[in-house]
Amino acid sequence: MSSPTPTSSTLSSTNTTSDHDNSDDSHTALLADGVECPTITRVSTLQFTAADPNGLPLAGWGDNQLGGIYSEAITGLYNMPLYVQALSAST
């Protein structure tokens, strides 16, 4: 009897943060979104892989070890989007 082969799947999340209180410096008037501080958006993705993304033949991959490729795009901190990507593993 053979064990099932794990398949690839992807988890994604989008989080947006805007002004923390939308008040001017005197706290007497409300400001429009994005005036006091920029609106920041983070789009995170974790793509689980059926094999170790480093190509290593690890015992237990897909049974008691999971992992894949983590990537994130961040907008609002800089004039261009910031991109991050890393290999991830967990037991």
Model pLDDT for residues 12-24, shown as the tens digit of each residue: 999 888 656 666 6
Q: Any long-range contacts for 23-30 (C-beta under 8 Å, 24+ apart)?
A: none
Distance of alpha carbon 51 from alpha carbon 60, whole angstroms = 10
Distance of alpha carbon 66 from alpha carbon 11, whole angstroms = 13
- Whether pTM > 0.85 for this model: the answer is no
Query: pLDDT of 42-60, one tens digit each?
Result: 999 988 888 877 787 777 7
Q: Which among 70, 73, 69, 17 is positioned nearest to 40, based on CA atoms?
A: 17
The secondary structure of residue 37, as a DSSP letter, is S
Distance of alpha carbon 79 from alpha carbon 58, whole angstroms = 41
Above 90 in pLDDT, residue 73? yes
